[in-house]
Amino acid sequence: MSAGLVPLLVLAGIALLIALWVAGMYNGLVRVRNACDESWADIDTELRRRYDLIPNLIETVKGYATHERDVFERVIQARNAAVANTGSPASQAKDENALVGGLRQLFALAENYPDLKANQNFVKLQEELANTEDRLQRSRRFYNANVRDLNNRLEVFPSNIIAQMFAFHAREYFEIEDEAVRQAPAVKF
């Protein structure tokens, strides 16, 4: 080997190590970003499940409380707004706050109808909704943990350099503002 070839091999080795390091950082960022996308899809699935349960719940209550039309309409409007929302997690959370508030009114209304509280369809729908709320809460925590991991990688050195080079962006947490709304709707009858 010639003396001029050794420095070139050392430089090539260093360049290869840097390229491997950049590729590893990039792949790590892609994995965390994909985990955020997947966990948001889990939230979306649970929200859709909740949206599908609500019309059945309303129809069951309507049979007993026909004169409470304004409560039904508010819940339906809140549901439709939440279903149509495909915006950011903050935007989605705003619509979810309105929907949960409407559901609380619906359940409060149901308290005035003892026959409704004993109706098996109503009880089953309540249980399904409570199970869905539990799964939704788990999905929210999983999503927010993935967002935290992504946002941390975007802010810490040296991965922040790679993230800026490849235009990775921070994600929003899916947070509900009102502490009372953070809890599943009361479905005790």
Tell me which of 130 and 30 has the higher pLDDT. 30
Q: Say how many CA atoms lie within 13 Å of 42 toward its Cβ.
A: 20
Rounded average pLDDT over 92-107 = 86
Residue 1: predicted pLDDT = 61
Name the helix (H) or strand (E) containing 64: none
Residue 177: predicted pLDDT = 63
Rounded average pLDDT over 81-105 = 87
Residue 181: predicted pLDDT = 46
Choose the weakest-confidence range: 47-56, 81-90, 113-122, 150-159.
Answer: 113-122
Is the pLDDT at 178 greater than 80? The verdict is no
Contact present, 63 and 160 (Cβ < 8 Å): no
108-167 pLDDT per residue, tens: 887 777 777 777 778 888 888 888 888 988 999 999 999 999 999 999 999 899 999 999
Is the pLDDT at 106 greater than 60? The verdict is yes
**Closest C-alpha among 126, 9, 11, 7 to residue 60:** 126
Q: How far is it, in rounded angstroms, from Cα 174 to Cα 3?
A: 60
Contact present, 98 and 181 (Cβ < 8 Å): no
Residue 175: predicted pLDDT = 81
pLDDT band at 183, cuts 50/70/90? low
Q: How far is it, in rounded angstroms, from Cα 125 to Cα 116?
A: 12
Residue 119: predicted pLDDT = 77
Give per-residue burial for 84-96: e unless 16+ CB within 10 Å, then b.
eeeeebeebbbbb
In the structure encoding, which two tokens stand for residue 81, read together?
């707004």
Place of tokens 């705003």: 94
The full set of domain ranges for the chain reads 5-182
Type of residue numbered 114: P
Indicate the DSSP class of residue 180: G
Residue 189: predicted pLDDT = 44
